[in-house]
Amino acid sequence: MSSKPWYSNGLRFSCTSCGNCCRTHGEHAYIYLAEADVRAIARHLGLSRARFLTEHCDLEEGWVVLRTTEPDCPFLDHDRRCSIYAVRPRQCASWPFWEENLDRARWEGVVREVCPGIGRGPLHSAAEVERLARETEEWYGEESTLGRDRQG
């Protein structure tokens, strides 16, 4: 007997560009950067990798994270738009289809509270949702060994 996920008929989501996902929400306080994110954002900003890391990043438990001193992402502009959208981190690009968000209580609770795009827009099939979540986990899993020796 196969067990279908609660979202087996798919999930509706459409980004409303509200910027809520670009703010810290309790445990969601970090924007994790894989090496590809670091290089792409630095290049986009016209900075060397080393300068980008020095000016915009911290190291947390072996991960490079964007430095945030405010509730908003430092790249959220005054119109609540992402100023690095074309090269935004994989974590940002895959929202809300993260493995941790695919728990029904979480999706219908905290995720819906943060994101007005939940339940709206196109229907994303269960297979697509799971593929996006899995690819994001795998992609960051491959990068989970970032550390001080790679910050230079």
- Please give the average per-residue pLDDT across 3-22, as a whole number: 92
Instruction: Round the average pLDDT of the chain to a whole number and report it.
Output: 88
What number is the average pLDDT over the span 70-82?
Answer: 89
Give the whole-angstrom CA distance, residue 63 versus residue 34. Answer: 8
pLDDT (tens digit per residue) in 86-104 = 999 998 999 999 999 999 9
Among residues 67, 51, 69, the alpha carbon closest in space to that of 59 is found at 67
**Residue ranges per domain, the chain?**
28-150
**What tens digit of pLDDT does each residue of 20-46 get?**
888 887 666 788 899 999 999 999 999
Q: Is the predicted pLDDT of residue 149 greater than 70, yes or no?
A: no
